[in-house]
Amino acid sequence: MPLDIIVGAQWGDEGKGRITDLLSAEADMVARYSGGDNAGHTVTVDDQLFKLHLIPSGILHPHTTCHLGAGMVVNPARLLEEIDQLDSLGVDVSPTRLKISSAAHIITPAHIALDGARESQRSGDMLGTTRRGIGPAYSDKAARSGLRAGAMRQPEEFASQVQKHMQAAGEVLEKIYSLEPPDPADTASAYCEYAKRLRPYITDVGNLLAQALEEDKVVLAEGAQGTLLDLDHGTYPYVTSSHPTTPGALLGLGVGPKHLRRIIGVTKAFQTRVGSGPFPTEIFDETADRLRGTGENPWDEYGTTTGRPRRVGWLDGVLLRYAVRVNSFTELALTKLDILSGLDPLRLCVAYRHDDDLLSDLPDSPADLSPFTPEYEEHTGWQIDLSQAHYWGDLPPEAQDYVHRVEALTDLKVRLISIGPEREQVIRWDRDL
């Protein structure tokens, strides 16, 4: 005991990286459980901005060990880039601190090419993927023809597996999509070199975590993406190909539920989405521009991985209640409350209207949200800058009311509130847990 899990409650980009960074200070091990370099976590420490795609944000705390779980898909070239970048900034990323599950799957240039080809073929009906090869790598995994990280322990044999995979995928690229495939032999020899560098990092992550939990170490599971992008429980087909939810965390790390302590749902104080798909509370007016920002600041609403402007809207309480149900959150972390400063009135979606019915919960999965119109409650905004607040009492009454309303809607406590990008710009209610 104990295992704490961080899960995105929306469509990703909720600010999970900084919540992980904060809680990593009190954890022994930090482990990512799903996705790949489609994720992007931005963490600011002492004016230094870190953009992490694969390595858990916990790496910035020197006392932790960090793990890439079995549920992940790993692009080895990108991982090595990230290792080298952190190393050049003086962060210890040696194999004593960083571990890769032997059961994680490996992304190749063929997966990336297929991701792009499938997106282009969907033309008007694109999913808006990050084109990082995520879907095709998980497809190979489900088809039981994927490449697993454990195979990198024998670089030459791994290289021949890669070559065969590249040849097979190359035929699809050529014959179905009329594309020039990447060269199988070149890719195989590059992957042989990646394997030689990465093999010291590969281990049985599930076993390491299980042992640590038995020894009463604190394990923090770091989420990527968010509940509404879950392959089964999100806004299918506009989802990712993994399970960024509480059950996905257990599966993706290879540990059972008996050690669970906190399940922290991270939600922004408003709603954003990158990529296509339904978004009932989306807005397009000047408030949207204000919420999105110009892109000049690292915290503005532009993708960390792709740089795409994010779609923005008001906080959707119906979808948040859904995320609470799917994940069994024990508490919420509310991020970016400071961004709402100066907006008046604030709107909060508390129900959906469908003909004459008012629904506070979804009647079915969130795949088709088109029949619903958001029912908003208006809240008085506040004008003061929140970025200097340290305690709950520093927040203006209007901001406290807004937080209380989110608590009432979800029947959960908001135990962490972020009010700026710096490490210390978080109001904490969770210390006495």
Binding site for ligand IMP (CB under 6 A): 11-13, 38-40, 127-130, 132, 134-135, 224-225, 229, 238, 240-241, 274-275
Residue 57 or residue 341: which is nearer to ligand IMP going by CB? 57
Burial 326-357 (b: 16+ CB within 10 A, else e): bbebbbbbbbbbbbbbebeebbbbbbbeeeee
What torsion do the CA atoms of 285, 287, 289, 290 make, to the nearest 10 degrees? Answer: 170
Output the smallest distance, CB 47 to ligand IMP, in A: 24
Sequence-distant (≥ 6) Cβ neighbours of residue 97 within 8 angstroms: 59, 64, 65, 66
Let me know: does 250 contact 48? Beta carbons within 8 Å. Answer: no
Orientation angle between helical segments 184-198 and 155-175, nearest 10 degrees: 140
One-letter amino acid of 244: P
Let me know: does 366 contact 325? Beta carbons within 8 Å. Answer: no
Residue 323 or residue 427: which is nearer to ligand IMP going by CB? 323
342 is written with which tokens? 């100066």
Let me know: does 406 contact 414? Beta carbons within 8 Å. Answer: yes
Output the smallest distance, CB 167 to ligand IMP, in A: 24
Measured CA to CA, the distance from residue 249 to residue 255 in angstroms comes to 9
Let me know: does 182 contact 166? Beta carbons within 8 Å. Answer: yes
Is the omega angle on the peptide bond into residue 345 within 30 degrees of 0, that is, cis? Answer: yes
One-letter amino acid of 242: S
Sequence-distant (≥ 6) Cβ neighbours of residue 189 within 8 angstroms: 159
Output the smallest distance, CB 134 to ligand IMP, in A: 4
Q: Using CB atoms, what's the residue nearest to ligand IMP?
A: 275
305 φ, ψ to 5°? -90, -40
Catalytic residue among 4, 13, 37, 338, which? 13
Output the smallest distance, CB 236 to ligand IMP, in A: 11
CB atoms within 10 A of CB 154: 13
Residue 58 or residue 116: which is nearer to ligand IMP going by CB? 116
**Any idea what DSSP says for residue 338?**
G
One-letter amino acid of 370: S
Output the smallest distance, CB 306 to ligand IMP, in A: 7
Residue 241 or residue 246: which is nearer to ligand IMP going by CB? 241
Residue 184 or residue 280: which is nearer to ligand IMP going by CB? 280
Measured CA to CA, the distance from residue 319 to residue 106 in angstroms comes to 33
Catalytic residue among 4, 21, 37, 41, which? 41
Question: Is 13 among the catalytic positions?
Answer: yes
Output the smallest distance, CB 138 to ligand IMP, in A: 8
Residue 206 or residue 226: which is nearer to ligand IMP going by CB? 226
Residue 53 or residue 199: which is nearer to ligand IMP going by CB? 53
Output the smallest distance, CB 401 to ligand IMP, in A: 29
Catalytic center residues: 13, 41
